[in-house]
Each structure stands twice: as C-alpha cells, then as structure tokens.
Chain A
Amino acid sequence: MHVESRLKNLMLLSLGGDGTAYRELLLELSTRLRAYYRKRLGAGCSDAEDLVQETLIAIHAHRATFDRTRLFTPWAYALARYKLVDYLRRSRVRVSVSMDDCQEFFAMDETEQAAASRDVDSLLSRLPKAMSEAIRLTRIEGHSIDDAAERTGKSAAATKVSIHRGLLRLARLGAAGVLDADD
C-alpha cells in the first residue's frame, strides 16, 4: 500500500531521530485525524481539534511501542480509534466505532482535500468577514476559541456567536446549491 510504505518510512526515520521526517509525519497524520474525528463527531464539534492534538501527543509519547517490523497504519489507527472511543465514553455518547475503518482512514486522497479546501474558500467568501474569519481560525486553522478571539480582537462569546451563525448560514448556502451554480 502506497500510504503505508510512505508513512512507515517517515516513522522509521523519526525513530532514528530525524525531526524533519517526524514533522512531516505528524502534519500528515494531523490532517487525516482531523478529517476522521470531524466525520465521526460532526463538522460542528469543536472538540475534534482537541482530539487531534491529544492523539498526536499519544503517538509521540508511545512511539517506542511501534515495532519496526510491523505495519505503521494499524498502529496509528489503533491510537486514533482509542482516543475517539475514550472521548465518546467521557462524553457519555454511545456509538460503536468500527475496527475496520483503518483502510478508509488512510485512503483519503490529497486531491480530494484540495478540492474540498477550494469549496470551503468559496463558501466562506460569501459570509460577512467576522463570521468567515472566526470560522477559518477555529475550524480550519485549528486555533482555540480564546486564541481566535485574541487574534480578531473580539470577546470569546462574540467569536462563538460568529462561528455559530456563520455555520448556520453556510448550511443554508450549501442547501441552496450556491456552489453548484457558480462552478
């Protein structure tokens, strides 16, 4: 598998102490984790980014448990899945998470992502600046609410309201098929 061999190679370099390879590995994993958690928790769930960070930290802390003779993707997915199940248990939501999504988790295509980010850009450009900025900072770039509020110079409450309204409006825009008409 293409992704497996590439990521495993990065992991082997990382275990040898190569910081550049490690950074590349974590960046790629963070993209996949973000997509995975958003899909499972719903795009509006603000905890997805926390889970991404928690999982990256778990991967970092437990990297010695990766056996160099085995596959990398099942190892990483097991930690990702554990963090999701743990989160769902903490938040007392009963959902079953399949053990078989490992394929899907690593099958995500880069071009798909590029197309998705174009779509997001064009949708965001239709919102008032305060809303699009708040959404971009928190949901796309991964800042916390407080962090985003500080950057935009607004209160955390106002930022939350902007995100909420913006997302509602985006949902309406999406439903109206604005994108299709434009492209």
Chain B
Amino acid sequence: MQTTDLIDRLAVELRPTAQRAAWKSLIVALSVGLVVALGAAWVSFGWRKDFVSILLTSSLWMKWAYALGVSAAAFSLCARLARPEGAPGALPFLLGVPFLVLGAIALIEVAGVPVDEQRALWLGRTALTCPSIIGALAIPIFVAALWALRTLAPTRQRLAGFSAGCLAGAAAAGLYAIHCDETAAAFVVSWYTAGILLPGLVGVLIGPRVLHL
C-alpha cells in the first residue's frame, strides 16, 4: 500500500481521544487485578476473625509500609515507562529505598538477639510458602498490568515488565500480609522481597515479547 493511502485511511479512522485515556486504563486494569487477587485470597484463606486485633500489631503495619513503598515506586516507574519517550531516571533506585530501610531495621533486629536464634528470626516458619503465595496472588495483578501496558506504548520493555512485576508482587505482598503470622523484619525483607522479585524477574524475561509494539 502506498504511504499516502495509509495516511488517508488513518485520518478517516480518527476519533477524538479522551484526556488522559491512557492512564485511566492503567488504573482500571490494576483495580480489576487487585479485586481478583483479593477474591483469590479470600477464597483460599477465608476471612480472619481476629482481623481487628491483627490491625493493632506493628508487624502488619511494617509489612504494609514496605508493600506500599515498593508499590508506589513501581507504579511511578511503570506509569513513566508506559509513555514511549519515558526515561526511568532515578526511579529504579527509588525502588530499592524501602528495601534498604527495612534491611537496616532487620540488621538491628538480628543483632539484638542471641546468635543461635538469628537463624529462626530470618527463616521464620514459612520461608518458602511466603514467596510462593505472594507470587501466586501477584498473577492476576501482573496480567492486568501487562494488559494495560500493551495498550500503552513502553519502548523500554524489559524495565517496563520488571516494574509491572514488582508492582504486582508488592500489591500481592500487601494482601498476603493480613494472613501472614511472621513478625520479624528480617523475615519480611528476605521472603517478601523474594515474592516481589519473582514476578519482577518474569517481567524482565517476557517484557520484550509481551509488550512488543
């Protein structure tokens, strides 16, 4: 086809575009993913009867603060990379800030207990279940984020995939925190992070293929 014919065809096809249509689709997709993940968590773990007393524990708020910090950084990165000209800038480093803060808290915590108890603090009782459940809960959010990114135009697709994965992982970690009885910062900084990085790394691997323009 001749290029001028193509242009004519595209011009005829043109419809007005809503303001900020792209960002709305990202928010809508993430909300849908989050609701599905919430439903999945509810079906598999049920509703905690002691939810109110859990709300008063500092460990829940530590997990939520960590999940929220990572989610916020990952979301900003994701939203920026969704534009073709979007450059990551310092945002990938911002993603590491919650990890460093919680890591410092964990080191102080571990240093404060006898050496033979340190291992238990770090591993808790659910060291392997935790990242697997976070990874599983992240799936609907991850799929939704990738779906939204596909309608946008990321040109740095490995990093965009990574940010979508970390966002999904962090949101899933926030959900799982309600059902997780571990209390140590050392546990959270290791195994929650593992659960967040799992979808993040999948995003790095599949990003270029899934997000190809």
A58's partner among B3, B7, B22, B213 (CB-CB below 8 A) is B213
Asked if residues B10 and A26 are in contact (CB atoms below 8 Å), the reply is: yes
Known pairs A53-B3, A67-B83, A79-B84; A19 contacts B22 (CB<8 A): no
A22 to B152 CA separation, bound complex (whole angstroms): 20
Collect the chain B residues with CB atoms within 8 Å of residue A82's CB.
84, 155, 213
A65 to chain B, nearest CB (A): 5
Chain B interface residue count, Cβ-Cβ cutoff 8 angstroms: 30
Flag whether B111 is at the interface (Cβ < 8 A).
no
In this complex, the interface size class of chain A, counting residues with CB under 8 Å from chain B, is 35 or more
Interface-side segment among B12-20, B30-38, B118-126:
B12-20
Question: What 1/0 mask marks residues of chain A from 75 to 103 whose CB sits below 8 Å from any chain B CB?
Answer: 10111011100100000000000000000
Q: Is the CB of B152 within 8 A of A62?
A: yes
Main DSSP-derived SS at the B contact region:
loop
Q: Are B17 and A147 in contact (CB under 8 A)?
A: no
* B85-A78 in contact (CB<8A): yes
Contact check, A23 vs B11: say whether CB atoms are below 8 A apart.
Answer: yes
- The answer to whether B56 has its CB under 8 Å from any CB of chain A is no
Residue of B nearest to A16 (CB): B16
Name B16's closest neighbour in chain A (CB-CB).
A17
Summarize A's interface: helix, strand, loop or mixed: helix
Q: Which of B34-93 contact A (CB under 8 A)?
A: 82-85
Minimum C-beta distance from A102 to chain B (A): 9
- In the complex, chain B residues whose CB is within 8 Å of the CB of A142: 2-4
- Given A27-B4, A147-B2, the answer on whether A57 and B17 have CB atoms closer than 8 Å is no
**Interface residue from B10, B21, B155, B212 paired with A57 (Cβ < 8 Å):** B10
A141 nearest CB neighbor, chain B only: B2
Nearest CB in chain A: distance from B120 CB, A: 49
- In the complex, the number of residue pairs spanning A and B with C-beta atoms less than 8 Å apart equals 93
Enumerate chain B residues within 8 angstroms of A79, measured Cβ to Cβ: 84, 153, 155, 213
Quick one: which of B2, B10, B12, B21 contacts A64, CB cutoff 8 A?
B21
CA distance A17 to B213 in the complex (A): 23
Instruction: Provide the residues of chain B in CB contact with A18, threshold 8 Å.
Output: 14
Please tell me if B117 contacts chain A, counting CB pairs below 8 Å.
no
* Chain B minimum-CB-distance residue to A63: B17
Q: Does B113 contact A (CB under 8 A)?
A: no
Q: What is the CB-to-nearest-CB distance from B24 to chain A, in angstroms, rounded to a whole number? A: 9
Q: Is the CB–CB distance between B152 and A56 below 8 Å?
A: no
User: In the complex, what distance in Å separates the CA atom of A79 from the CA atom of B20?
Assistant: 19
Write the nearest CB–CB distance from A28 to chain B, whole angstroms.
10
Instruction: Tell me the nearest residue of chain B to A59, going by C-beta.
Output: B10
Q: How far is the CA of A14 from the CA of B15 in the complex (A)?
A: 9
Q: Point out the residues of chain B lying under 8 angstroms from A75, CB to CB.
A: 83-85
B115 is an interface residue with CB less than 8 A from chain A:
no
Interface presence of B116 (CB below 8 A): no
Q: What are 21 A-to-B residue pairs whose CB atoms are below 8 Å?
A: A15-B17, A16-B17, A17-B14, A17-B16, A22-B10, A26-B11, A27-B4, A49-B3, A52-B3, A56-B3, A56-B7, A57-B10, A64-B21, A64-B151, A65-B152, A75-B84, A75-B85, A79-B84, A79-B155, A82-B213, A142-B4
Residues on B lying within 8 angstroms of A by beta carbon are 1-4, 6-8, 10-22, 82-85, 151-153, 155, 212-213
